[in-house]
Amino acid sequence: MTARPAPSLIPRTVERWLTSRYVFTRLITAIAALSILAAILITVFDRKEFPNVWLGLWWAVQTVTTVGYGDITPRELSGRIIAAVLMLVGIGFISLITATVAHTLLTRAGQAAEAARDEVQAASLERIERRLADLERLLREERSR
């Protein structure tokens, strides 16, 4: 029998992170931090379109959430690169949130179904044990006659 290779540490760490009780808090914190970082970067690299961080933050929030009103857009190449990265990361975060919600709901549904199945099996075993006890009692009575 061959030994299976140990799973990589990164997928286990990601799985633990995503199945944590605090996953939504962590995702929201990461999105907020990313938006603030993007706002600072866009203000630094595309000063003409984003003269202050607040305008940059407005743009970053609408970009990371994939709303993209289009009222302000980067003009410089560096700003467009920041925008492209932010868009891809925003799509990734939305996917993570969707996958986490789906995983949580499916896990809970599976646990509920398993509990119901265990309950049915326990009731069946109890009926079988009663019937067996009845049969044993009848056999003892038959033998004692």
- What's the pLDDT score for residue 142? 85
Residue ranges of the domains in the chain?
Answer: 9-144
For residue 102, the one-letter residue type is A
Divide the 145 residues of the chain into consecutive groups of 10 and give the mean pLDDT of each group. 61 69 80 94 94 95 86 91 92 83 82 88 92 91 84
CATH no. for 9-144: 1.10.287.70
26 and 17 in contact (C-beta within 8 Å)? yes
For residue 8, the one-letter residue type is S
Give dist(CA 108, CA 101) in Å, integer: 11
- Rounded to two decimals, what is the model's pTM? 0.61
